[in-house]
Amino acid sequence: MFENLTTRLGRVLDSIRGQGRLTEEQIAAASRELRMALLEADVALPVVKDFIDKVRTRALGVEITQSLTPGQEFLRVVQQELTATLGGVTEPLNLRAQPPAIILMAGLQGAGKTTSTGKLALWLKEQKKKVIVVSGDVYRPAAIEQLRIVAGNVGVEFFPSAVGQNPVDIARAALAEARKQYADVLIVDTAGRTTVDEEMMTEIAALHAALDPVETLFVVDSMTGQDAANTARAFADRLPLTGVILTKVDGDARGGAALSVRQVTGKPIKFLGVGEKSDRLEVFHPDRIATRILGQGDMLSLIEETARKVDQEKAQKFAAKLKKTKSFDLEDFREQMLQMQNMGSMQSILEKLPGGAQMQAQLKNVDAEKQVRRTIAIINSMTKQERRFPDLIKASRKRRIAAGAGVEVQQVNQLMRQFDTTRDMMKKVASGGMAKMMRGLAGRMPPGMMPRR
């Protein structure tokens, strides 16, 4: 997400970060580069113009000229203006209504409405809400069936509907059932079209009038760039939207939609869809996204995600074992790989780390997820004794393990070397040598891999 924009902005800011003072010419040059970076990211032109004007005005004003570190102050100005462009503050879902609170999902066909409905239902379920979902797409039987499957996968109630029914009648029946079951939230998935048309707008306006939802969320594919903002504006002109869900953000290296939608529509982005799995939905925090775009990471989101997705009981047992025995075996190594899989893609983890853009560049041709899956498969091919006592694994055992995992012996050797390195690091952590280990690690990393202090 935002990979191209982060790289380009990083070069602009690097050129002025160390300056003792900034001249008007340097600010003008940096502003031109910022403008090009934003246009390449497919940010809407009016948004680019407004953003650059605000940055230049502040940079040429008292804030920069009186600063002891103008380069850092310019970075702060850019970060603050990015945050403002993205919406300024986090705007949570408004569920302050007599239950069930109704959420209406709108958007074009293919934007990811049904998938986002399931993701949002799971997110609400994790907030201890009882959720019912219903499909008002009476034109595509596959859409109704898809929502039924998605609802089953995330463990929420699905209210049935069928092709040919009136969407308003479906929604009213679902609302009556939600009240009967004392549900907290009813999410209504609506029909989409390939383009905005009058029939679609009339139908969804009728649904809105019948339901009076507390939230009307526009679901839009971020990979359509500034077209996403234009489509959102078309919906906002006809429907009282309360927020936006940007989907397929993990596949968008430009970031233009995220930077355009808020200013073009006046509606806040509330969630980001950052992957295909049901748990890959993130609350949108403008300040955190701004620091991520500027390559400074998003440690708060990473910590929250870790707390939510890592098995805390297993983590505590592992920490206790490591502290007590100072031992680390292949079973432990496998468990760490499984926990890493639960965290999502390596790209999503790296982009939340300071300096993550440089790390992603270093690993651009490496399929980290494939390597993790292969590691787990190799360890699964070992006996329980071999996992507990890795030093038993010699040549003949390696050949058997490789055959069982469907890999070459060379890949088993590679895993064992990786395990030995990790085991040494774990022993240092258990012995209280974390700071020493990090210094040693920094010395072995390529330039730019460690974050700036």
Tokens of 354: 């300071």
d(CA 337, CA 376): 7
- Is residue 66 helix, strand or coil? coil
Sign for the pseudo-dihedral over CA of 349, 354, 357, 362: negative
Q: Are 258 and 246 in contact (CB under 8 A)?
A: yes
Contacts with 396 (C-beta within 8 Å, 6 or more apart), sequence order: none
CB burial of 413-440 (b: ≥16 within 10 Å; e: otherwise) equals: ebbbeebeeebebbebbbeeeeeebeee
Identify the residue whose tokens are 């290296």.
Answer: 253
Q: How many residues does the chain have?
A: 453
* DSSP letters for 92-144: -----SSSSEEEEEE--TTSSHHHHHHHHHHHHHHTT--EEEEE---S-HHHH
CB burial of 396-411 (b: ≥16 within 10 Å; e: otherwise) equals: eebebbbeebebeeeb
Identify the residue whose tokens are 């292949």.
Answer: 330
Residue (of 220, 128, 207) closest to 175 by Cα position: 207
Q: Output the known binding site.
A: 107-114, 189-193, 247-250
SS3 sequence of 23-46: CHHHHHHHHHHHHHHHHHCCCCHH
d(CA 303, CA 322): 21
Spatial strand order of the sheet with 157-159 comes to: 157-159, 131-135, 185-189, 101-106, 215-221, 243-247, 269-273, 281-283
Write the Ramachandran bin of 134: left for phi over 0, alpha for psi from -120 to 50, otherwise beta. Answer: beta
Q: Output the known binding site for GTP.
A: 107-114, 189-193, 247-250
d(CA 252, CA 301): 19
Q: Return phi, psi of residue 247, to 5°.
A: -105, 165
